[in-house]
Structure 1
Amino acid sequence: MQWTLEVVQVPVSDVERAKAFYADRVGFTVDLDVASDAEHRFVQLTPPGSGCSIQLSTGYHDDLVPGSLRGLVLVVPDVHAAHAHLAAGGVATSGVVVSEDGETFRPAREGDALDNVGFVHFADPDGNRWSVQQISSRAGVTHDLTVTRLLEAPVEQAWKAWTEPEYVMRWWGPTGFTSPLAELDVREGGTSLVCMRAPAEYGGQDMYNTWTYRTVVPHERLEFALDFTDADRAPLDDASIPPGVPRAVRHVVTLRPVDGGRTELTVQEFGYGTAEARDVSRAGLEQCLDKMESLFRDGWAPPAG
């Protein structure tokens, strides 16, 4: 007989606050949010790739003490990427730590072998404690990337680089490429269409992507899936997508104000099947962000009217 663990109850004092933490900051997917009346509500969320979900509830398990849960473990193939993801979501963590005896932890050092012994610890707003453990051999490894830039613009203006067509068309595409079109629908559940045009020496063809938004927090955070399409938004066949690149590339964009009216921009991409595919994407992203940096450094603004 096969037994599968499907749901773990996480006791919280404020379901709405906890839902925002796990969905918006940690990145769990909201499966259900059901309220039968004013006193009874449960929210089910699932960590990406997990076969087990968590439930947050009020009115159902009043004997559970909020914040009392310990020993929850998430497994990831790359604990450094997990740490970067949590940090970008504003989650306070232990940093990447190593346990050599199963009881005590020290900060990870460059060159440490992290499989099975590398962790990141964090807690939710009620104090329920989680550990993130690196075990890369249990499942296929994915290769993720994180790029951070300092923009010479306040967050309100930096937000426009991702949400207004005139800005997107100035930076979308690597060096030598142009962007003749950006049809933006920046809202949760909305889908934008963007186009990059190759230079003549590379064939001059137009390449289209859609960005479908899961999270939109103005001036703070965007989460979207980038897919490969034609001009009519029809998905390309899988054979047209470069090897090692997922069907839909999950992106997380965060903006943080810093001194001097500037903005720290962090862009994360997830799910590449090979290091080579990740590195090609990183190179393209770096060149796009070079153009974005220049945009604000040079004080560009869209034409009036």
Structure 2
Amino acid sequence: MSDTWDLSITRLIDAPVDAVWRAWTEHTADWFCPRPWTTEIHAMDLKAGGRSSITLCGPDGERNELEGVYLEVIPHRLIVSTDALRVGWHPQGPFMVRVDEFADEAGQTRYTATARHWTAEARDNHAAMGFEPGWNAATDQLEEVARRITG
């Protein structure tokens, strides 16, 4: 298929890959969704088939439950997850596959976060929900945490 229905951001983060990786994997609740929203981590079993369970909590009591699995994890390089499956490879209503890539660039980190959708309509709906400003704000927060880790 030549068509892709991706939304993606790429940023150069002023911190080494190890710090960005640690921020992503060990301090997820501190950055994962834009403030004033908060993140509750229920499970982050970072291995293929491992459970991902996160709740995004809005300032007015909104709750967005995210349940899925990790498809591939390469430490300090790649995290791929999806909500199309739950633990045990059981299908569920999909929204996207998320791909987070980390690459060293002269001591800084080239970070790319991609939301890969099943249809153009799903991609367009995600864009209309505020993908670009939301994921960029979360990435700003990721950089804050990574820079805090590096001291």
In the superposition, the TM-score normalised over structure 1's length comes to 0.42
Task: Check if 1:277 corresponds to 2:134.
Answer: no
SS of 2:76's partner is coil
The one of 92, 100, 115 aligned to 1:253: 100
Higher strand share: 2
Q: Given the superposition, is the C-alpha separation of residues 151 and 182 from structure 1 closer, same or farther in structure 2, using an over 3 Å criterion? A: farther
Task: Check if 1:152 corresponds to 2:78.
Answer: no
How large is the Cα RMSD of the aligned pairs?
2.6
Equivalent residues of 1:169, 1:182 under 8 A apart:
no
Deviation at 1:266, TM superposition (A): 0.6
Equivalent residues of 2:51, 2:68 under 8 A apart:
yes
The 2-side partners of 1:170 and 1:289 are apart by: 11
When Rg is computed on C-alpha atoms for both structures, the one with the higher figure is 1
Higher helix share: 2
Q: Which amino acid aligns with 2:71?
A: R
The one of 169, 193, 201 aligned to 2:53: 193
Deviation track 1:8-54 (CA, whole Å, cap 9, x = no partner) reads: xxxxxxxxxxxxxxxxxxxxxxxxxxxxxxxxxxxxxxxxxxxxxxx
The one of 221, 227, 232 aligned to 2:78: 221
SS of 1:293's partner is helix
Equivalent residues of 1:147, 1:266 under 8 A apart:
yes
Structure 1: state its 5+ residue gaps.
Answer: 1-74, 79-142, 230-234, 239-246
SS of 1:181's partner is strand
Task: Check if 1:209 corresponds to 2:56.
Answer: no
Equivalent residues of 1:222, 1:253 under 8 A apart:
yes
Q: Which amino acid aligns with 1:269?
A: A
Deviation track 1:82-131 (CA, whole Å, cap 9, x = no partner) reads: xxxxxxxxxxxxxxxxxxxxxxxxxxxxxxxxxxxxxxxxxxxxxxxxxx
| 1:1-305 to 2 correspondences below 5 Å | 75-78=1-4, 143-164=5-26, 167-199=27-59, 203-226=60-83, 247-259=94-106, 261-271=107-117, 272-274=119-121, 276-279=124-127, 280=129, 281-297=131-147, 299-300=148-149
Deviation track 1:54-76 (CA, whole Å, cap 9, x = no partner) reads: xxxxxxxxxxxxxxxxxxxxx31
The 2-side partners of 1:172 and 1:191 are apart by: 17
Deviation track 1:226-260 (CA, whole Å, cap 9, x = no partner) reads: 3699xxxxx9x96xxxxxxxx2411111110111x
In the superposition, the TM-score normalised over structure 2's length comes to 0.79
The 2-side partners of 1:159 and 1:300 are apart by: 10
SS of 1:277's partner is helix
Q: Which has the higher contact order (CA 8 A, sep 6+)?
A: 2
Deviation at 1:146, TM superposition (A): 1.5
Q: Which amino acid aligns with 1:209?
A: L
Structure 2: state its 5+ residue gaps.
Answer: none
The 1-side partners of 2:149 and 2:72 are apart by: 28
Equivalent residues of 1:189, 1:213 under 8 A apart:
yes
The 2-side partners of 1:282 and 1:228 are apart by: 25
Equivalent residues of 1:250, 1:269 under 8 A apart:
yes
The 1-side partners of 2:42 and 2:9 are apart by: 23
